[in-house]
Amino acid sequence: MTHITKPFFLMDDDPQYNFINKILLKRSFEKVLINDFTSPEEGLAFIKSQFINNPTDEKTTLFLDINMPTMSGWEFLEAFEQFDASIKDQYNIYILSSSINLSDIDRAKAHPLVLDFLEKPLYKETLLKIFD
């Protein structure tokens, strides 16, 4: 087990993926703070309300799904881009998707706010690679 306190933000319309990812994160790190949302609009509202005047030393790792019914991951990123730099700088964003569409992968890797494209499901080995 890695001994580090780490904040996470899960944005996926499927509550089962959020549940599984929370278990994985809790088993992979000694201490975690996890906020998870199935509604992109609620997730964006939370980010804006909770972090606008609350900078932290530790960046939050945001795992973002692409295919969601009310707002896609791309639309989420467009809205996120409108936030003040003081908010955006608090996040490391990874696309976490089951999409095998090469244009999604290329778009994620080219996006200035996205660090990488990760395939679902999330594995402990992937977390170790990210945080090594």
From residue 132, give the alpha-carbon distance in Å to each of 68, 87, 125, 127, 128.
Answer: 30, 25, 10, 8, 5
Strand partners, 60: 91
Domain count across the chain: 1
- Amino acid identity for residue 114 in this structure: V
Q: pTM value?
A: 0.92
| 30-42 pLDDT per residue, tens | 899 999 999 999 9
From 98, 109, 127, 77, select the one nearest 14 (Cα to Cα). 98
In three-state secondary structure terms, 56 is coil
If you average pLDDT over residues 6-18, what whole number do you get? 96
The CATH number covering residue 80 comes to 3.40.50.2300
Specify the range with the lowest mean pLDDT, choosing from 40-54, 63-77, 112-126.
40-54
CA–CA separation, 45 and 127 (whole Å): 27
CA–CA separation, 121 and 98 (whole Å): 8
Residue 69 belongs to domain spanning: 2-131
